Amino acid sequence: MLTGFNARWYEWGLCDIEEMLEGAHLNRLGLPLHYVGHGFGGFVEYLRVASRRVHRILTVGSQRTYWHDYAPGSRRASWPRQHLMIPIVTATNGYFPVKRFRLEGLPRGVALDWARSRRDFMAVASSKERESMRAHQTVLTARILEVAPHQ
């Protein structure tokens, strides 16, 4: 259960990505390592040092909830849902129960970071976390294709 598990998005992303990339690297049988990420999964590979082993990256719909990134026709409807509903539902439940919306649940800190997204998605991270993310980004040499579905 996610109640009481207060990981922030940075910690949530790091919980599994390092292990997943290391495991994939060890089991790739000499083949190039490719990574496909959707949503937050399209950001998380930039956060870890193991990402340096990735040859190619495909991200699909890797978004955050920065209001200016919403499709112009959906901004009016999306803003309250992302920036009011998420914090209220999270405060009420202690986590964001997105299974009700046919998605996975999110820890309190992840949901609130999502709702507080800024133009620079690293802005909600601590200075130590931002420094770590930037350091990991500098070793990433993979070819990247980002696909943003039209909204």
Whether pLDDT at 142 is above 80: yes
3-state secondary structure the chain: CCCCCCCCHHHHHHHHHHHHHHHHHHCCCCCCCEEEEECCHHHHHHHCHHHHHCCEEEEECCCCCCHHHCCHHHHHHHHHHHHHHHHHHHHHHCEECHHHHCCCCEEHHHHHHHHCCCCCHHHHCCHHHHHHHHHHHHHCCCEEEEECCCC
Q: What is the pLDDT of residue 65?
A: 67
User: 78-131: per-residue pLDDT in tens?
Assistant: 888 888 888 999 999 898 887 766 666 788 888 888 788 777 777 777 888 888
